Structure 1
Amino acid sequence: MGSIKKLNFEVCGKVQGVFFRKHTKKTCDKHGVAGWVLNTKGGTVQGFLEGSQQSVSKVKNWLKSVGSPKSRIDKCTFYNECTVDTKSLTQFSIITEKTEVERRTFKT
């Protein structure tokens, strides 16, 4: 069984225009979690997390219940969760273009 947790997420609510992506990156960097985050055209924030099970769990809790200071989290969904033996990413990035997402999309 792998020791690295990977997953995708989507956060709904007041999550755009409130520095949600910036604070997500700060939280992930603090906990040593790699991945990416982006704003969607539908007004949500989507992303990918990869790191130790304990660190990813801390970021998941932050995404579900804390967020950025001016955000309001109505719903947070996690999907494609799995564990693997090695990380595929080394840092956390804020993505601004769709083409970049397509290159980094995690698939099980």
Structure 2
Amino acid sequence: MAKICRKARVEGKVQGVWFRASTKQRAQQLRVTGWANNCPDGSVEVMMFGEEKDVTTLSDWLWEGPPLAIVDKVFIDDVDGDEPNTFTTG
């Protein structure tokens, strides 16, 4: 199967609610690599690399997030990128 790369920006109450750590945990369960970082504007940026079905599952999960998150918007784009070996948070 072909691997894909997607970049997402998640807006809402997504900082200080374990969003990045929960995203990392979900990504590792799906065998998706990449990263999740807080942005200065209060959003979280997520880069996802992996099999299309797994990246799509993680992309869909971003709308839910962890229990304390309140997700207002998720913007997702297909992008080119080099696949990292792990999923990290910054």
The TM-score normalised by the length of structure 2 is 0.93
User: Does the CA contact (< 8 Å) of 1:3 and 1:83 recur in 2?
Assistant: no
Measured at CA, do residues 45 and 82 of structure 1 come closer, stay the same or move farther in structure 2, by a change above 3 Å?
Answer: closer
CA shift at 1:82, angstroms?
Answer: 5.0
Alignment partners' CA distance in 2, 1:72 and 1:28: 19
* Rg (Cα) greater in structure: 1
CA shift at 1:78, angstroms?
Answer: 0.4
Can you give the 5+ residue segments of structure 1 that lack an aligned partner in the other structure? 96-108
Alignment partners' CA distance in 2, 1:82 and 1:40: 19
1:76 to 57, 74, 77: 74
CA shift at 1:36, angstroms?
Answer: 0.4
CA shift at 1:88, angstroms?
Answer: 2.1
Alignment partners' CA distance in 1, 2:56 and 2:12: 21
Once the two structures are superposed, what CA deviation does each residue of 1:68-89 show, in whole Å capped at 9, x if it has no partner?
Answer: 110000000001x1589xx621
Aligned to 2:62: 63
Q: How many residue pairs end up in the alignment?
A: 90
The TM-score normalised by the length of structure 1 is 0.78
User: Does the CA contact (< 8 Å) of 1:9 and 1:76 recur in 2?
Assistant: yes
Can you give the 5+ residue segments of structure 2 that lack an aligned partner in the other structure? none
Aligned to 2:83: 88
Once the two structures are superposed, what CA deviation does each residue of 1:32-82 show, in whole Å capped at 9, x if it has no partner?
Answer: 000001011100000200000010011011002x10110000000001x15
Relative to total residues, which structure has the larger helix share, 1 or 2? Answer: 1
RMSD over aligned Cα, in angstroms? 1.7
